[in-house]
Structure formats: structure tokens, C-alpha cells
Chain A
Amino acid sequence: MKFGVVIFPGSNCDYDTFYVLKSILKQDTTFLWHKEHDLKNVDCVILPGGFSYGDYLRSGAIAKFSPLMQEVKGFALNGGLVLGICNGFQVLMELGLLPGAMLRNKNLKFLCQFVHIRLENDQIPFTNSGKKGQVLKIPIAHFDGNYCASPETIQKIEKNNQIIFRYSDVKGQYSEEANVNGSMESIAGISNETGNVMGMMPHPERASEALLGSEDGKIIFQSIINRVR
């Protein structure tokens, strides 16, 4: 099992993700540089959070043109595992690997806080060690996390079980209050049709040590490790 963590200029959760994979989960992990075409034979590519290329334009809009992303696109279309966290999720939507787009949070402010998300589909490689209906405590940190898509798309991803996480309260109930950023259908994470590409706004790498308040994020990384091993 080998993980690759992409570094765009402006990425800032690259080292955090690397640290969790390498030092906590003891996985073979390498960085992938945005200017290169080499995926270094990794089994799973992670696009970390941050502000790729400053995100002065739409979040993720420039990152999709980087040389490495052309390779990641091919890798994903061939069934390779690709996880986008926060800004990485935004990049995956810009690349067309995941449907939908992000609006500004409903309160028009950046939001950094722990949230609860309910696992809706435990059948994909990123969630197989979790249980459907399980509630995870994982932090968010974003300005544009208000998920938006056409009614047809929402219907389609719902039908295909592509909605992987929804914001909920601690008991797993949906509510306007729990849906902190105003996402349609309380969507916090989705996958592509084949389940090998997933994007999520919450940061699992920030919830991988008990000392920091939660270890629930490990479920996602552990699922990938289980799947590939």
C-alpha cells in the first residue's frame, strides 16, 4: 500500500495528511509535486486541503490545469483511488471527476469547527471499515463548502448511493442547525459512480489523534488500507 499526497502551491494540509499516514498509521507515503507527471506508483492519491494557487479565482479552478492533475484524472478513470479533502474536493469537482459545485457557506463566513457527519454508504473503498448510520466527529475548515447541484444530479447521486456523508447532529439526525454551511441535502461528502473517487469537506486528518479531540477520521484512511492490502 502506498499513498501519494499532492502538493499544489498553496496547499496547507499536505504535511498534516502526510504525518497522519506516515507517522500515525505507519503507511508508505510520498509527496507528489504539481509540476510533475509522475504518480510514483501510488495506490491512492490524496488531494489535501488548502488554498491551491491562492484560490483567488474559484476554489480549485486553477489546480485542475496542473500537469499532475492530468495524470490523476487518467488514474481515476482507470479505477485508481482518489480522495479529495476540502480544497481537494473542490479540485475534483473542477476536474469533472465529481458532480456539483460549492457555494459560499450560508453565513458567508469561513467556518472552522468540529461537526458531526453521518455515514450513508459503507460499501466504497473509503468507508468500508465504518458502518452505515454511524456518526463521526470530524472538523471542517472552509469558506466554500455549501454543496450545490441540479435536482437531476442530486436525484442521481442519491439513487446511486453516491452521497457518502451528511452533516447531522450527534445522534445522526439532520437539521438546519447541523447543516452548518447550508449544503443541499446536508451533503458533506460524495463519491463518483464507481466509488473509487471521493470528496469530503471535513478533514479526517485532523481527527486522527485522541489528544486533538477525535480519532474518527482514521476510519477513512483505515478503509483505504484494508481495501488495498
Chain B
Amino acid sequence: MIDKKLLDEHNLTMEEYEKIVELIGKEPNITELGIFSLMWSEHCSYKSSKVHLKKLPASGKNVIQGPGENAGIIDIGDSLAVVFKIESHNHPSFIEPYQGAATGIGGILRDIFTMGARPIALLDTLRFGPLSKPKNKAIMDGVVSGIAGYGNAMGVPTVGGDVYFNDCYSLNPLVNVFCLGIVEKERIFYARAEGKGNPVLYVGSKTGRDGIHGATMASAEFNQDLEQKRPNVQVGDPFKEKLLLEACLEVMEKDLIVGIQDMGAAGLTCSTSEMAANSGTGIEIDLDLVPQREEGMTPYEIMLSESQERMLIVAKKEKVEEVQKIFAKWDLDAIIIGHVDEGGRLKVKAGGGIVVDLPVDAIINLCPVYKRELKEPAYIKQETQLDSIPIPENFNQTLLKLLSSPTIANKEWVYRQYDHMVRINTAFLPGADASLLKIKNTKKALAITLDGNSLYSYLDPRIGGKIAVAEACRNLACVGARPIGVTNCLNFGNPEKPEIMWQFAEAIDGIAQACRIFEIPVTGGNVSFYNDTEGVSIFPTPVLGVVGMVDDVAKAVSPGFKVDEDTVVLLGENREELGASEYLKCLFALEKGTPPQIDLEEEKRVHEVCIAAASQGILQSAHDVSEGGLAVCLAESSFLSEEKIGLNVDLQDEMRTDMLLFGETQSRIVVTVKSHDLQRLIELARKKKVKATPIGSTCGKRIIISHNNQRIVDLTVEEAYRAWKDAIPEIFNIK
């Protein structure tokens, strides 16, 4: 009997239940109810976000696949395309950091190779609570190990990403994983179940009781019974996935199949109904044929299991033996569990009887869409007076403190646990403004970056959204790449709260506007709501993953100074802004103020100057100004090269010295040029109406910064480097 309690357990409202009954013309049985609870969950249906996501620009002349499939696809020429996507695995990573993060990697990899692409790069955005709390250290250690454990064994390099720390993530860390693959344009595969009578094959690991209701778990707030949720987290087997990857790509190369879909969130339920719905067909499967790891599993459990490393394939009828042979070569089962049917229904048999008979359209396409109430949160209107902030007496100490703040400090402790070089495409090691991967047999390279400053988004979600896009594109511009496509991971709190929904709508508006101005299509992404624990929401955290292209990899630009006596030039303007800065947070424990303002047109012109200068080969280095401001940018530029070259600059701006050094005004890039190329750069900038100010030169082994001829920072490069480099290893006490 279906009652309120049972519906609550399935995260369905009474109204939703009534709609289900109306759509399917009967009372669902328990297995059918389970299917709806998964597919109508926020995680699978996007029911609260759909109306807003529509605002994101999704088209462009190189878009092969926009939102709605496993991943987006962009044409990159040379008969090749890139397939990329970002996904969250936040809740599982809090409950069980190692496996939660590991299976996140497994899932995003499957999203990419399901489409026929060979994954060549992983990146992750990680957000943790402050490392002063042991629990946060344990979570970070587990998450990093989990990503390493899975990604390394798969032979896919983890080439970049970012890590931020804020107390709002103490009970709700974020693990957003991005993957990019390369595919020949003629060999892209989709989740299709076409051709009546074509066999449906189950391949990969056996089904167990793990992960039942994972998608539903990701669609509700957390409370104190988290420990009980542990069985909802799946356990990863990267070896099995590696075999699955090789076998699937081999089958695809030989043109033996019609369609393929991974069994990720919502497992067999999602893959069968999606494939049928996408093709306007039906699917009939027999659960007695599904390989099972445990005894006595009910149809409900088999349909809802989220066991990892499984795929569903619709093969060409006459090629099925060949498919099975290839899987056998890789020591994997490929079992026929059913066939494609007409009539648009999902029919599931078990024990000789029918246990599910539902219209796939109702499962996939007819979930209610909510236009939830929006309300500006009260905190937005609070005024913050920053005039009372004292100006530091010792700027050397202030700079060292910022360089050792975990958000700014070197993340080598993290990325050296990841194999970031396998597949031998990694032209820039992690730590550059963007990751750079050469494309074999061409002169081109792909640049990738993930960005998202959640403090900006908290204080002004619209600006936060714009800046996330702008900073990602700025990072690409620094290496000399122009952006070609975007994916986003939108991490927010409970969408049933109007204040959260307001944050979401504002952030989307900001992202949409920025993507339009930068002319980049959003080809998909992921929404992660319900990032609240015990009623406390995280800061709204939209994370942007932007992919860019460098036409000649030999001309790509890295952030570190190269030689003595180059001219240091600031592109863009310094403004009197200090709000929402890492400086205020780090020195005064203030997470307040107005985030930096941004003029997207100006920002775009700065990028154009940088990209043009890079393509003319006149940039020796380029590094963007972001968290920690100009002073941190200059210090990093000095030690981000092996040579570790110092600098002597003088900043001539009338403003508070701390604003000038540590304010996070946008649209600024620090570049170096040979002195004989300076005029060319200034000319390029003038044409684009971008301010280009020579501020000094590279030299020696000291970082010397003056403000209006008065020396305010004077440190050895080594001192600054150690502060930045040793901060995180010292916290973990493991070098």
C-alpha cells in the first residue's frame, strides 16, 4: 500500500504521486514507484533548475552536441571533436571520502567514453572546510587519495583543477570532476535503442545492493543519520572500468552497435528508459538474466542499484556474437538481457512475470517542472564599511601570509598524488593558469581550466557567475588559448528555499550573460542542489569548466618569468576594490564587502590583447590577477618558473596601498615582454582600448614592489616561494 510515509521515503510529494497515477493510468507497484523516485529526483530530472538553465546559450557553429546527452561535443577540426562534461560527487564524498571521490571519477569517465571518446584529461574542483579542523583534513586526504586511486589506475591524467577552503564546506565538501575526451567526428555514439528486435546487452560488473537510492540521496538535505547513508555510497573498481573502457572503444571502432549508455546514477532504470525515450522505442528486459553479485535481490533492488562499472549496449542483431567476443577478450561478460521493442514502454520481467510496465515518456519527459519561488536573502542588503580596516604596517609579512593561505598556496601536495603525465600530452604541468594538452599529430593544443570563487557568488551571485566565466577565459587567454566551449557544475543549497533559488537564478543570469559576450556555448553540465547539512547551506558555488584551443602549441605561454631584464607590463586597470578578497578573509576574518565589479566587454578586450600577443610570439610570460591580488600575482610569476627570477616594479596609482596590492579587481593580466617588443604590445593594447602599463622589470632574486616610488615589499624570491610551497605539506605534516 502506498502511503505518505512510503512517498517520503522515496522523496516524492503527494502531488507528484497523483501525477504519476494519472500518467500511467494505474497505481504503481513498489518497483515502479522506485523507478519514478529516481527518475523524478532533482538529480535526474532537473525539475527545479530547468526553467533557468534554458537561459544559457547552447548553440554555436562548432557545437556537435549541446546539453541533454552524457556530455557536450565541440568540433575542433582535423576530423576530431572534444567531448567534455563536469559532474558533482559531493554527498558521497562527505560520507565516504575515498570511495565517494573515486566513483565520481569512474562516473565522469563513463560519461565520456560512452560517446566513443578516449578520455585524455581529468580535472577537479575541490572545496573543503578549513584545514585547522582535523575532520576536514581527513576528508581532503581521502578525497585526493580516491581521485588518485581511480584516475591513476585508469591511465587518464589528472592535469589540473582548483582547491578552495571555506568554513561553509566543513559539513558539505564539494567534489566536482571534469573529464575531456577526444573522438573522431565520424565515430560518435549516443544513448539510442533503435531497431526492433536488436539485442540489449548488459556489460561490466555484476549488480549488487550498493548505491541503492544514490540519486535520491543527492536530492535531499543531510542530517545526523549520515552514518546510516554509508551503504548508499558505491565502491569503485578502476581495473574493471579500465577493461570496460578498452572493450567499449574496441566495439565502437568496429561499428557493431547501435547505441550505448552507462549505468551511473539510477543504474539500469535510467539507462533503459533513457535509451528508449531518446529513440521513441521501448525496451523489454528480463532481470533473471542480469548478472548479480548477491543472492535474493528483489526487482526493486536490481532496478535501483547503482553498482559501478556497468554499461548497457544495444547491438546490431547480426553483430552480437562479435560484440561478445570482444568483451570476452577483455575478460568481461556481455549478457543479452532483453531487446528493443516498439510501443514506447519499459517492460521488465522477473521470475516469469511482468514486474514493471511503464510508458518511458512518463519516466523521462513528463516529470513536473517547477518554477520555484525566488527571494533575495536578507544578507545581500547589508552594508559593509571597509574604511575602518587598518592598513598593514609590514607588507612583506602580509604578502607572506597570503601566499601561505591554503586557498592561494601551492597545491603540489595534491596534484603530485595524481598521475598528470600519462598519455604523454601534458605540455604544462599543473599549476599554470590553464592545463595544456597537445593533440598528437597536429600542432594544436587544448587548454582547460576550472574556476569558481564562491565568496563572490555568496555576496553577489550574478557577479560571481560572471566572474567565474571571465576568470576561466582569462586563464585561457594567459596561455594563449581562445575559449571554445563551457560546461558548468552548479552547486547550491536546498532549492525549495526561495533564497537559494534566488541565488541560483542570479548566478545563471550572470553566467549566461558572460557566455554570450565571450561567444562560448554551454554544452551541458550538472546541477547539484541540497548542499545543506543540518539546515546550513554552502555558499552558492557555480564552477565553470572552460575548454580552449591553441593553434600552435609552440606559442603557448606559461606564467613564470623567463629571464632577467624583461619588461613587466600590467594589462588592465587597478581600481579601488577590496571587498570579498582573500586579504580581508585571511587577515581580518571578514567575508564581506562588495565583490569586484566587472565590465565583460573590457574583460574580453584584455583577453584579445593577450591572445594576439601570444600568437605573435612576443609574450615571455602571462599570469592572471585573481585571489590575493596584484602582489600575489607578481610573486607567483617570479617563482612559477624553474629559474625563479625576481622583479622590481613601481605602481603609480593613487589609492590605499593594501587595495592596490591585494584588491581583486578583475580584467587584469601581468605579462612580460622583451624590451624591444614593448612597443608592439602597447600598440596591440591601444587598438583594443586596453590599458597597458609598464610597471618594472624582471631581475635578480628579490621581489621588490614600490608604490609611488616608496618601497613597500622587499623579499627574497626564495622566502616567498617557501611560504607558498610549504604551507599545505606542513598542515598535513607529510612532505
How many Å lie between the Cα of A61 and that of B415 in the bound state? Answer: 28
B421 touches A56 (CB 8 A): no
Q: Contacts A211-B427, A212-B421; is A51 near B553 (CB within 8 Å)?
A: no
For this complex, into which size category does the number of interface residues on chain A fall? 35 or more
Q: Contacts A9-B242, A13-B155, A54-B153; is A109 near B423 (CB within 8 Å)?
A: no
How many Å lie between the Cα of A11 and that of B424 in the bound state? Answer: 15
How many Å lie between the Cα of A118 and that of B69 in the bound state? Answer: 51
Is A67 at the interface (CB under 8 A from chain B)? no
Q: Mark A20-57, 1 if CB is under 8 A from B, else 0.
A: 10010000000000000000000000000111011110
Is A108 at the interface (CB under 8 A from chain B)? yes
A19 touches B440 (CB 8 A): yes
- Among all A-B residue pairs, the 8 with the closest Cβ atoms: A12-B155, A54-B239, A51-B153, A141-B419, A16-B424, A110-B417, A112-B419, A110-B148
B417 touches A111 (CB 8 A): yes
Q: Contacts A112-B417, A206-B421, A211-B553; is A9 near B152 (CB within 8 Å)?
A: no
Is A209 at the interface (CB under 8 A from chain B)? yes
Is B462 at the interface (CB under 8 A from chain A)? no
Across the interface, name the chain A residue whose C-beta is closest to B332.
A9
Q: Interface on chain A toward B: helix, strand, loop, or mixed SS?
A: mixed
Q: Contacts A54-B238, A113-B416, A211-B427; is A107 near B734 (CB within 8 Å)?
A: yes
Q: Contacts A10-B153, A12-B154, A13-B155; is A19 near B417 (CB within 8 Å)?
A: no
Find B422's partner among A13, A53, A56, A109 (CB 8 Å cutoff): A13
Find A56's partner among B239, B429, B734 (CB 8 Å cutoff): B239
Across the interface, name the chain A residue whose C-beta is closest to B430.
A112
Is A205 at the interface (CB under 8 A from chain B)? yes
How many Å lie between the Cα of A16 and that of B418 in the bound state? Answer: 17
- Count of interface residues, chain B, beta-carbon cutoff 8 Å: 35
How many Å lie between the Cα of A19 and that of B330 in the bound state? Answer: 22
Q: Mark B238-250, 1 if CB is under 8 A from A, else 0.
A: 1110110000000
B155 touches A19 (CB 8 A): no
Find B427's partner among A16, A49, A107, A212 (CB 8 Å cutoff): A212
Shortest Cβ gap from B425 to chain A (Å): 8
Find B735's partner among A20, A54, A107 (CB 8 Å cutoff): A107
Q: Contacts A51-B153, A107-B735, A110-B148; is A212 near B417 (CB within 8 Å)?
A: no
CB within 8 Å of B: which A94-110 residues: 107-110
Is A199 at the interface (CB under 8 A from chain B)? no
Is A75 at the interface (CB under 8 A from chain B)? no
Is A130 at the interface (CB under 8 A from chain B)? no
Q: Contacts A51-B153, A211-B438; is A12 near B417 (CB within 8 Å)?
A: no
Shortest Cβ gap from B204 to chain A (Å): 14
Q: Contacts A9-B243, A9-B330, A10-B242; is A112 near B420 (CB within 8 Å)?
A: yes
How many Å lie between the Cα of A140 and that of B330 in the bound state? Answer: 28
CB within 8 Å of B: which A156-179 residues: none
How many Å lie between the Cα of A206 and that of B425 in the bound state? Answer: 9
Shortest Cβ gap from A68 to chain B (Å): 14
Is B90 at the interface (CB under 8 A from chain A)? no
How many Å lie between the Cα of A213 and that of B436 in the bound state? Answer: 13
CB within 8 Å of A: which B108-151 residues: 145, 148-149
Q: Can you list 9 A-B pairs with a CB-CB distance of less than 8 A?
A: A9-B331, A12-B155, A19-B440, A51-B239, A55-B239, A111-B417, A112-B418, A113-B416, A141-B421
Across the interface, name the chain B residue whose C-beta is closest to A141.
B419
How many Å lie between the Cα of A51 and that of B427 in the bound state? Answer: 24
